[in-house]
Amino acid sequence: MKSLEQLVRPNIRALKPYSTARDEYAGGEISTWLDANESPYDNGLNRYPDPHQRELKRRIARLKGVREGQVFLGNGSDEAIDLPLRIFCIPGRDNVVSIAPTYGMYRVAAEINDVEMREVPLGDDFALPVEALLAACDEHTKLLWLCSPNNPTGNAFPAAEIERLLRAFEGMVVLDEAYIDFAAEPGFLPRLDEFPNLIVLQTFSKAWGLAGVRLGMAFAAEPVAGLFARVKYPYNINCLAQETLARQLDRDIAPHVAQIRTERGRMARALAACPAIERVYPSDANFLLVRTAAPDRLYDALIAAGVIVRNRSRVRGCEGCLRITIGLPEENDRMLRTVQDFRP
């Protein structure tokens, strides 16, 4: 890996971050808060939230088996996707490399930041194109985007292949593990200390069932997590989100995850037996990608039955494919009945 000195944008290296009123107060019992131009009238939300989310980070670090200094919390994964581009990539000069098809926000975030996105197609059966990814990189490639399990293909990539990229690529590897709780393998968080160029993204939107709260996580070596903290908006996680998460963190998500995995297996078998379905791709996520000869008509038939899925048939590499989220058993059955009755 290149040094952070070489990888980080000079203006970010030189940045003196905004210091909030709450940063400047360093402890001691305070009963009268006259430092932040807040309203004094207590309605439960008149005070700014903790800009560093210290209590949440402490608990998340314990939950995930990492150190507090390795945790960044963002306004959804969207913030954690945007920040590496802003930290590492000089607009109009640097580039990033990613697999394709994958989660669309990597490209959008790169384009917003005026950073060239180089997409490398997945191989047969959506295999990770390790050597082609490395070949797509040049001296201006700052980030390599991976998503495992990948959206929309659903497959997780072998750890040995991700490891090869982490060791061979000179810049930062952003590994999006939004769906890792549904996968058979544990992902890379337990190995964070092995790879100073690894940024793991996770989210509370999927297995935790908190998509409405907008809380994403990034995990990285302390110097990298520290860069996220410098560049983010000062109060990026609002009070309501922090309080909601604090209440939810002790919940056991295992029963819901187990049921979704069971339903995923049941739906994969049942859909594979439908005349309209040519292929059900293996999934380590909470959705299935299925290929059909008539994606638009099947999509419309599902809509007519009140069921919406994601039509991915116009995404390169996903021709003919619909992406179906695993819902409650009765919701899955409703979807299945329409697919079973559909004739292409």
C-beta closer to ligand PMP: residue 9 or 312: 312
Distance CA 226, CA 34 (A): 29
Least Å distance, CB 203 to ligand PMP, is 3
Q: How many CB atoms lie within 10 A of CB 251?
A: 12
Looking at the Cβ atoms of 23 and 111, the one nearer to ligand PMP is: 111
CB of 151 to ligand PMP, least distance (A): 4
Nearest-approach distance from CB 87 to ligand PMP, in angstroms: 18
Contact 124, 145 (CB under 8 A): no
Contact 283, 150 (CB under 8 A): no
Q: Which is nearer to ligand PMP, 151 or 338 (CB)?
A: 151
**Separation CA 142–CA 43 (nearest Å):** 45
How many other C-beta atoms can be found within 10 angstroms of the C-beta atom of residue 212? 10
Residue 8 or 80 having the CB closest to ligand PMP: 80
**Least Å from the CB of residue 29 to ligand PMP:** 37
| Residue 153 beta carbon to ligand PMP: minimum distance, rounded to whole angstroms | 11
Tell me whether residue 113 or residue 151 sits nearer to ligand PMP (CB atom).
151
Contact at 8 Å (CB) between 217 and 73?
yes
Task: Give the residue at shortest CB distance from ligand PMP.
Answer: 76
Element (H, E) at 287: strand 287-292
Which residue number, 137 or 285, has a Cβ lying nearer to ligand PMP? 285
Shortest approach of ligand PMP to residue 76 CB, angstroms? Answer: 3
The alpha carbon dihedral of 217, 219, 224, 230 has a sign of: positive
* Residues at the site binding ligand PMP, with contacts judged by CB under 6 A: 76-78, 103, 147, 151, 176, 178, 203, 205, 211, 216
CA nearest neighbour of 116 among 135, 91, 82, 138: 91
Which positions ≥6 away from 101 have C-beta within 8 Å?
122, 150, 152, 153, 312, 315, 316, 317, 318
Nearest distance from residue 17's CB to ligand PMP, in Å?
A: 23
- Residue 147 or 302 with smaller CB distance to ligand PMP: 147
H helices present in 89-219, as ranges? 105-112, 130-136, 159-168
Specify whether the CB–CB gap between 256 and 273 falls below 8 A.
no
